[in-house]
Structure 1
């Protein structure tokens, strides 16, 4: 075997491409990257489909969700309304701003805390709801039935099952 054939066999032999493998350490393989991106998009769409597959419970839940969606748009539209009112009736706007300037600083701190806790609690609740839906989606995808966290679980250990049966009150 010649020297060139040995070098080529070393670099490209055994179904491997040492050059390509080395380059992939420093630069992403475009084909594999596109495949991963397509998989991410497919999984995202599948998750959204699973999330919205379950209808809302009842009229009360829909009504409460509707009220919970009001504060942010009202704050935004109210702020825009202040700008508009300042342009149309500067005297009215100035008298309202004098009133706001007279509010004591501790009351502003209290207002900030209330608004922060409201939006923070809502953000956390929505985040936990999203995590719960992700777990249910993964469980459905794997063919498993998602269990509620407080549901009693049946152990796979027969001795433990027997002990639990004898000690349940």
Structure 2
């Protein structure tokens, strides 16, 4: 017995698993890796939850959200208003455009930069969303192609003949019985 204890102690160590410790030098412990991954995922989820934890929105926040939504409709409606004004009162419109002609060029550049950054950032976000939707659609292409091929087979004469020649399988087993004789015997004995 002592020889066996010494041999096992040599392989597995004193209270430690020498074999396991040696293997872990060359290969990660899957259980410990899974625990680390779960902890990292939990921390990420806590961080995401903190980012999306919306504090009560006050009056100031609602007003600022409304102000942030104004530039695009204001520019669009203002431009349409200029067209209407040019048709309704051309003299008034011409006098206003003469005032616009007096705006110095650096101010136009500044206005162009502000509008470009505002609409450029929005355009970039919308473009990225559009690209993601295209990627999702393209990812569905193989499944759609399989469905189309299946429908084409069903639509051909051969597919129609196969569908007509198919005989539905009707069970010959009486109601309350199964194809399993042992199960039927057990149900009879239990009843």
Q: Please state which band the TM-score falls in when normalised by the shorter chain.
A: 0.3 to 0.5
Q: Which has the larger radius of gyration?
A: 2
Higher relative contact order (CA 8 A, sep 6+): 1
User: TM-score scaled to structure 1, two decimals?
Assistant: 0.37
